[in-house]
Amino acid sequence: MSGRSKIQRMPQTALGLVALVVAGCAFASRYLPITNHAALITAALSPYLMLCAPVAAALFLWGRHWSLALAAAGLTMAMLAVQLPLYRGSDARTVAVGLRVISANLREGQADPGHLVRLAREQADVVAFQELTPQEADRLSSAGLDARFPYRFLEARPGPGGVGVWSRFPINEPRRIGGYTFEFLTAQLRVPGVSTDPTVVVAHMAGPWPRPIDDWRRDWNRLPVTMSEVGEQAGAGAVIVAADLNSTTDMRPFRALLRNGYGDAAEQSGAGIKPTFPADSRLPPFIAIDHVLTRNCTATSQRTVEIPGSDHRGLVVTIAIPPSAGPGTGLMT
């Protein structure tokens, strides 16, 4: 290569190096502890930042830097390996009872109650709300939610701390779990055709931004233990967790939950990354921080829906619950 050619290709090489560093940092952020806002933001945006890897590979090929191009191609393959399973889905072959679940953050009780009731009436058997205020609970009841969903367990609070669940099916053993920044509840549902009552969990983890990250870290340090305890108490029964977790699948704390039989509804259904936040700007949502997790059952579909008045999109998830639920019966791949 002539000296002139090398000079002409210097911009491509420089851009390629920047792209490779950005993609490498993004990939690494998935496996590092989240102790500050910089690590948090990098991990949350890593699906987009990792796209710099194929860009770097193309730039290095253009500049004829073969070893760097090979490194960028390897990073691209690693990126695909961690992202593609979200779009593959599970193959649930068991006979199952379908349960439709809506989960939504109501933005401190500002969501449109009439829209929520219509959405629930048409598309849900169970609705789980975060940031449920006492006033919003009253408005939802007045709009007709209690008439279609006569069973409920609410821990409504002013501000962002309240949660609640409404169900078409009877609720047993409602229980509040303390020690978290916001309210956290569990209850069992008596679902026809299912031998062991499924457990529903409604939770809202502390927000890590723009406030200090300490509350978020404390909640997440405790959450895996709580989920393990809930699973043990449920025994052979299905567990459905509907939550604003303020975390994405690319954050290490989130993936730490996917053990002891728990799975992510987005991955099980092959829905992939479904951004839910922020939903109140001119730009579309770009991070997926609202989730449904399952244990001893399998999500067969997941999609997002608009929630007027909220800064989140809601989740509509269909879950297949084996009539005789038990370990391994709902997670066939």
**SS3 assignment, position 261:** coil
Report the largest interatomic distance among the alpha carbons of the chain, rounded to a whole angstrom: 79
Residues of the chain with pLDDT > 70, as a percent, come to: 94
Q: Are 199 and 153 within one domain?
A: yes
Is the domain of 67 the same as that of 129? Answer: no
Statement: residue 329 has pLDDT above 90: no
Domain annotation covers residue 332: no
* Assigned domain for 331 exists: no
Supply the mean pLDDT for the chain.
94
- Assign 324 a pLDDT band (cuts: 50, 70, 90): confident
Structural domain count, the chain = 2
Tell me: do 56 and 145 sit in the same domain. Answer: no
The answer to whether position 72 is within a domain reads yes
145 pLDDT exceeds 70? yes
Residue 6, pLDDT above cutoff 90:
no
What is the spatial distance between Cα 312 and Cα 310, in angstroms, rounded to a whole number?
5
Is residue 42 pLDDT above 50, yes or no?
yes
Sequence-distant (≥ 6) Cβ neighbours of residue 285 within 8 angstroms: 275, 276, 277, 278, 279, 304, 312, 313
Distance CA(192)–CA(308), nearest Å, equals 33
DSSP structure class, residue 207 = P
- Same-domain check for residues 173 and 292: yes
Q: What angle do CA 34, 224, 247 make, to 5 degrees?
A: 45
What is the CATH number for 268? Answer: 3.60.10.10
- C-beta of residue 145 within 8 angstroms of C-beta of residue 136: no
CB 16 within 8 Å of CB 65: yes
Whether the Cβ atoms of residue 305 and residue 122 lie closer than 8 Å to each other:
no
Strand, helix or coil at 49? helix
| Residue at a domain's end among 86, 117, 145 | 86
Nearest to 20 by CA among 72, 70, 83: 72
How far apart are alpha carbons 117 and 113 in whole angstroms? 6
In a domain, 298, yes or no: yes
* pLDDT value of position 210: 87
pLDDT digits (tens, 9 = 90+) for 174-223: 999 999 999 999 999 999 999 999 999 999 999 998 889 999 999 999 99
Averaged pLDDT for residues 221-229: 97
The encoded tokens of residue 2 equal 């002539």
For residues 206 and 228, state if they share a domain: yes
* 80 & 204 share domain: no
- The residue among 34, 64, 86 that closes a domain is 86
Q: Which residues contact 78 (CB under 8 A, 6 or more apart)?
A: 27
Q: What is the pLDDT of residue 332?
A: 34
pLDDT digits (tens, 9 = 90+) for 290-310: 999 999 999 999 999 999 999
- Are 64 and 102 in a shared domain? no
pTM score above 0.85: yes
Residue finishing a domain among 86, 114, 148:
86
Domain range enclosing 70: 3-86
Residue 75 inside a domain? The answer is yes
User: What's the number of CA atoms in the CB half-sphere (13 Å) around residue 81?
Assistant: 8
In a domain, 142, yes or no: yes
Q: Is residue 236 part of a domain?
A: yes
pLDDT at 45: 97
Residue 322: the pLDDT is: 95
pLDDT at position 160 is 97
- Identity at 34, one-letter amino acid code: I
Report yes or no: 224 and 241 within 8 Å, Cβ to Cβ: no
State whether 79 and 220 are in the same domain.
no
Q: Say whether both 208 and 141 belong to one domain.
A: yes
Q: Six-digit token pair at 265?
A: 């509804």
Predicted pLDDT of residue 330: 39
Do 254 and 276 reside in the same domain of the chain?
A: yes
Q: Is residue 109 part of a domain?
A: yes
DSSP E strand stretches across 40-169: 97-105, 126-130, 151-155, 163-167
pLDDT at residue 16 in the model: 96
DSSP state of 94: S
Q: Is the pLDDT confidence value at 82 over 60?
A: yes
| pLDDT for the residue numbered 314 | 98
Kindly state whether residues 244 and 116 are assigned to the same domain.
yes
Q: Do residues 157 and 228 share a domain?
A: yes
Asked if residue 103 has pLDDT above 60, the reply is: yes
